[in-house]
């Protein structure tokens, strides 16, 4: 009986992990690092490190990149948007 509980708990944890991973991959800029873009670099992410600004999710390659970006989010977002538009024309 105890084995059934353990297996059920593991299955639930796995399902939660899959659901969380699928939610994480929904960022702006095709999931590229917003801090990287603000510094004129294309850095692909899995969007597991992210923040929401004005209802939009922005991804980062690391917690440090997010911290640096958030020191001046408005200016960095403007730089990221400008670089992304110039390099990734629709």
- Whether the per-residue pLDDT at 8 is higher than 70: the answer is no
d(CA 66, CA 7): 36
Is residue 2 very low, low, confident or very high in pLDDT (cuts 50, 70, 90)? low
Residue 82 scores a pLDDT above 90: yes
Domains of the chain by residue range: 2-87
Instruction: Give the pLDDT of residue 21.
Output: 46
| DSSP code, position 29 | G
Token pair of 53 as six digits: 């600004």
Nearest 5°: the CA angle 45, 75, 29 is 30
Q: Which residue has the higher pLDDT, 6 or 89?
A: 89
């Amino acid at each position: 009986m105890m084995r059934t509980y353990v297996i059920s708990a593991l299955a639930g944890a796995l399902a939660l992990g899959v659901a969380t991973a699928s939610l994480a991959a929904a960022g702006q800029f095709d999931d590229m690092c917003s801090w990287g873009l603000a510094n004129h670099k294309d850095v692909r992410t899995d969007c597991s490190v992210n923040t929401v600004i004005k209802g939009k999710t922005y991804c980062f390659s690391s917690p440090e990149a997010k911290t640096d970006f958030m020191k001046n989010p408005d200016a960095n977002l403007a730089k990221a948007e400008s670089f992304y538009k110039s390099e990734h024309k629709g």
